[in-house]
């Protein structure tokens, strides 16, 4: 006898009645939050050290002058900003494409209740081939069919 996966009903399922105290952490997903700035700041420091050791590409600027310091600061600040932008864009794409998949509604709800901070509102969830999204409604979290 073969067990068949039961398709969930297309209704809303309660995950938690009170989501107001839950801190949805971006840091749990990757570099996120302050980690982005720390990572990119390390690259900025390396950029500045490298720039400061080299002769400026602009011939009128003398090595180790105030103008050289300004040039390195500007160049490396731009690289820092590009680094932050790239990481944030990659994390945004990852979070949008990330789907949680479960074979049954009970397994999905059990996991979501235990790991609520890891699955903030807007997370896509697939249960036995049926698409849902996590939604905050009136302070509670629900699994809502798409």
135 beta partners: 142
47 confidence band (pLDDT: 50, 70, 90): very high
pLDDT at 95: 62
* Overall average pLDDT of the 6-28 stretch: 73
pLDDT at 1: 43
Is residue 19 pLDDT above 70, yes or no?
yes
Count CB-CB contacts under 10 A for residue 114. Answer: 8
Is residue 127 classed as helix, strand or coil in its secondary structure? strand
What would the pLDDT profile of 67-100 be if each residue is shown by its tens digit?
Answer: 999 999 999 999 999 988 888 887 776 665 567 8
Domain ranges of the chain: 13-145
pLDDT at 96: 59
The answer to whether the beta carbons of residues 133 and 146 sit under 8 Å apart is yes
pLDDT at 5: 57
16 confidence band (pLDDT: 50, 70, 90): confident
36 confidence band (pLDDT: 50, 70, 90): low
Is residue 24 pLDDT above 70, yes or no?
no
The answer to whether the beta carbons of residues 107 and 8 sit under 8 Å apart is no
């Amino acid at each position: 006898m073969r067990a068949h996966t039961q398709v969930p009903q297309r209704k809303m399922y309660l995950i938690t009645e009170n989501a107001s105290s839950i801190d949805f952490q971006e840091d749990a997903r990757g570099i996120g939050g302050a980690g982005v700035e720390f990572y990119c700041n390390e690259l900025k420091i390396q950029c500045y050290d490298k720039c400061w050791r080299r002769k400026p590409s602009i011939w009128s600027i003398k090595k180790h002058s105030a103008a050289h310091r300004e040039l390195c600061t500007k160049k490396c600040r731009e690289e820092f900003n590009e680094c932050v932008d790239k990481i944030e864009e990659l994390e945004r794409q990852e979070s949008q494409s990330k789907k949680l998949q479960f074979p049954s509604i009970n397994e999905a709800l059990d996991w979501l209740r235990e790991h609520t901070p890891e699955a903030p509102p807007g997370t896509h969830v697939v249960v036995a081939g049926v698409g849902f999204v996590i939604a905050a409604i009136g302070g509670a979290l629900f699994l809502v069919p798409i």
